[in-house]
Amino acid sequence: MVDILAAPQQAKTDSKADSTRTLAAISAAHWVSHFHLFVLPMLFPFLKTQLGVGYIELGFALTVFGVVSGLTQAPIGYLADHIGARKVLLIGLTVGGLALIMLGMHLSYASLIVCAALLGLANSVYHPCNYAILSTHMDEARMGRAFSIHTFAGFLGGAVAPAIMAALVAWVGGLGALVVAGAVGPAVALALMVAGIPDASSADRKEDGGAAPKQSVITPAIIMLTFFFMLLGLSNAGISNFGVVALMSGYGVTFSAANVALTAFLGASAAGVLAGGYLADRTTRHGQVAAACFGINAVIMLVIATTTLPTVVLTAMMGIAGFLGGVIAPSRDMLVRNAAPPGAAGRAFGIVSTGFNFSGILSPLLFGWIMDQNMPHWVFGASVVFMIMTVLLALVTDRKTQGSPEGSSEAPSRT
């Protein structure tokens, strides 16, 4: 894996104000991406009644979203590196918004599937484009914190989506809620154009005044990180999506107590992301950070899986696990940046992000099957297995980073 010091660096010409404006703009785009992820699920009761379909048909729309997003992440990464991440990001924001507006103006099941596909396509632009721009234009000494703020903005978009959609439905109805939620995409795209966010593409990386060297992005490190992202997704998906029902059916936890425990897990994750940004800026051992956090989490989840805990203890342990899971997010992103050849950040993040998409497709089937087999303890037990696999893979990745002969002791600068 390419060492962090060999990763594509920015020319130190971006002022602090420019960097702050860029980070704010890209974080706003990430907020939109997570907000749009929750628009359709939050409207399922409305859509079920209006379309006269069951939850299986509605769930199929989310499957379409996941498949399209997973298949297009890597191609979008290549596109961002070749024509510019700024253009692709603006197009993605607009396409995602127009898809929801279209559904609100012409509601049918066929339109729902088309909308889900377009939302999946739009979703595929955010990680490749956002990380390519941040990798190029953020101060190297604060890169981890920049990644953490960007990730936190996405968490926040998902956290406020239920409340916003509920308010919109009460205000303008279900169809109006779709249109208003969709309008957020083009509105933010316009705001980013006005703010003048910078671009990032292969053409932005030069060495000695020449063209950026072409290197293969499909490296063992990138393949390994794709599996790493998939394991991360699988480790958290069971807890996030099935934790409440597992606690209720397997441990006798009340509905309210189970939701409080899950809220502690998710809320602490967001706080952990911000803390992890400072940590990522103070170490190059990002794999060891991830391994340590997930090693502790594996122990915590093993205790939860095998014992019945008092509500206060359960909530505290879920909160600690969530915090540590959030801490590793910036280090996770730095690992990808380390592995990206010069001028290929978009492609690298596009490829590894497919790991999340695969976990999003696999996890509902796996954990749903576990619950159907009346094995709620294995919701947490399976998470332990995935966490242990994540620890091992993180340690191997870290060894490759530190031992890479391609690393150098000084960061190359752009001119």
Find the mean pLDDT for residues 394-411: 52
The pLDDT value recorded for residue 409 is: 34
- Which pLDDT value is given to residue 14? 57
Helix axes 345-372, 311-339, angle to 10 degrees: 150
Residues 165-182 have a mean pLDDT of: 94
Is the confidence at residue 301, as pLDDT, over 60?
yes
Work out the mean pLDDT of the chain and round it to a whole number.
83
> Residue 292 pLDDT more than 60?
yes
**Lowest mean pLDDT: which of 26-35, 87-96, 237-246, 310-319?**
237-246
**pLDDT surpasses 50 at 2:** no
Does the pLDDT of residue 88 top 60, yes or no? yes
Rank 31-35, 60-64, 133-137, 348-352 by mean pLDDT and report only the highest: 31-35
DSSP character at residue 211: E
Q: What is the 3-state secondary structure (H, E, C) of 293-359?
A: HHHHHHHHHHHHHHCCCCHHHHHHHHHHHHHHHHHHHHHHHHHHHHHCCCCCHHHHHHHHHHHHHHH
Whole-number Å distance between alpha carbons of 70 and 107 = 26
Is 90 exceeded by the pLDDT of residue 397?
no
Q: What is the mean pLDDT of residues 110-118?
A: 96
Query: Residue 168 pLDDT > 70, yes or no?
Result: yes
Q: Between these two residues, 65 and 100, which has the higher pLDDT value?
A: 100
Question: pLDDT tens-digit profile of 205-216?
Answer: 444 344 444 567
Weakest-pLDDT range from 85-94, 107-116, 371-380: 371-380
Residue with token string 């380390």: 338
The confidence score (pLDDT) of residue 12 equals 43
More confident residue, 350 or 72: 72
Where is pLDDT greater, at 287 or 115? 115
Q: How far is CA 174 from each of CA 127, 149, 276, rounded to the nearest angstrom?
A: 29, 32, 38
Closest by Cα among 339, 346, 396 to 5: 339
State the average pLDDT over residues 50-62: 85
pLDDT at 331 over 70: yes
Q: What are phi and psi of 212, to 5 degrees?
A: -60, 135
pLDDT computed for residue 221 by the predictor: 83
Q: Tell me the pLDDT tens digit for each residue of 181-222.
A: 999 999 999 999 998 888 876 555 444 344 444 567 778 888
At residue 404, the pLDDT reads 44
Percent of the chain with pLDDT over 90: 33
When pLDDT is averaged across residues 239-259 and rounded to a whole number, the result is: 85
- In this model, does residue 306 exceed pLDDT 80? yes
pLDDT number for residue 349: 83
- Region 65-74: mean pLDDT is 87
Contact 159, 262 (CB under 8 A): no
- pLDDT tens for 355-391 read 887 887 788 778 888 888 889 899 899 999 999 998 9
11-48 pLDDT tens trace: 444 577 788 889 999 999 999 999 998 899 888 889 98
- The whole-number pLDDT of residue 236 equals 85
Q: What is the per-residue pLDDT for 122?
A: 96
Q: What is the pLDDT of residue 1?
A: 34
Domains of the chain listed by start with CATH number: 4-205 (1.20.1250.20), 220-403 (1.20.1250.20)
Q: What is the mean pLDDT of residues 154-161?
A: 84
Per residue in 123-132, pLDDT tens? 999 988 998 8
Please report the DSSP string for 128-159 in residue order.
HHHHHHHHHHS-GGGHHHHHHHHHHHHHHHHH
Please state, in angstroms and as integers, the Cα–Cα distance from residue 218 to each residue in 76, 127, 215, 340, following that order: 15, 17, 9, 10
pTM: 0.75
Residue 411: which pLDDT band, with cuts at 50, 70 and 90? Answer: very low
